Amino acid sequence: MPFVVCKVPMEGVQDTASIEAAMKANKFGVDDIVAFVAKTEGNGGVNDMSRILVDRVLRDFLVNKGTRTRAQAMQVPIALSGGCDGVISPHINVFARIPDSAVSAESKNELRLTVGIAVSEPILPEEIGRLPMVEKVAAGVRRAMAEAGITDPADVHFVQTKTPLLTSERILAAKARGKDCVMHDTMESMAVSNATAALGIGVGVGEFPMPRQEQIARDLELYSSVASCSSGVEQDEAQIVVVGNRRGIGGDFRIGHSVMKDSLDFEGIYEAIRNAGLPLPERARASDLGDALVNCFIKCETHPSGRIRGRRIVSINDSDIHHTHHTKAVVGAVAAAAIGDPAVYCSVAALQQGPAGGGMVGAIVNMTRVKAMGKA
Contact 152, 244 (CB under 8 A): no
CB atoms within 10 A of CB 185: 11
Q: Do domains 1-102 and 252-372 have the same CATH topology?
A: yes
- Percent of residues, the chain, with pLDDT higher than 90: 94
174-178-184 Cα angle (round to 5): 45
**DSSP readout, 183-237?**
-S-HHHHHHHHHHHHHHHHHHHTTSS-PPPGGGTTT-TT---SSEEEEEESS-SE
Beta carbons within 10 angstroms of residue 346's beta carbon: 30
Q: How many Cβ atoms sit within 10 Å of the Cβ of residue 268?
A: 24
Each residue's pLDDT tens digit, 202-246? 999 999 999 999 999 999 999 999 999 999 888 899 999 999 999
- Residue 177 and residue 125 in contact, taking contact as beta carbons nearer than 8 Å: no
User: What pLDDT band is residue 34 in, cutting at 50, 70 and 90?
Assistant: very high
pLDDT digits 0-9 by tens, 130-149: 999 999 999 999 999 999 99
CATH 3.30.1330.170 fits domain 1-102: yes
Asked if the model's pLDDT at residue 256 lies above 90, the reply is yes
CATH number of 252-372: 3.30.1330.160
**CATH level 2 (architecture), domain 110-251:** 2-Layer Sandwich (3.30)
Residues 330-340: tens digit of each pLDDT: 999 999 999 99
Q: What are the residue boundaries of the structural domains of the chain, listed by start?
A: 1-102, 110-251, 252-372
Whether the per-residue pLDDT at 263 is higher than 90: the answer is: yes
Which residues are designated catalytic? 162, 230
- Give residue-wise pLDDT tens across range 178-203: 999 999 999 999 999 999 999 999 99
Q: Using one digit for the tens of pLDDT, what is the confidence trace for 309-323?
A: 999 999 999 999 999
Cβ atoms 344, 239 nearer than 8 A: no
The pLDDT value given to residue 46: 84
Residue ranges of E strands in the chain: 3-9, 33-40, 78-82, 91-97, 112-122, 156-164, 227-232, 237-246, 253-260, 293-299, 307-308, 311-312, 345-347, 359-366
Residue 217: partners with Cβ closer than 8 Å, 6 or more residues away: 129, 191, 192, 195, 196, 351, 352
What mean pLDDT is reported for the chain?
A: 96
Predicted pLDDT at 166:
96
Q: Band of the pLDDT at 3, cuts 50, 70, 90? A: very high
β-strands 91-97, 112-122 pairing: unpaired
pTM (two decimals): 0.96
Chain-centre distance for alpha carbon 60? 22
Terminal C-alpha separation, the chain: 24
Above 90 in pLDDT, residue 376? no
Which segment of 44-48, 181-185, 260-264, 287-291 scores lowest on mean pLDDT?
44-48
pLDDT at residue number 370 = 97
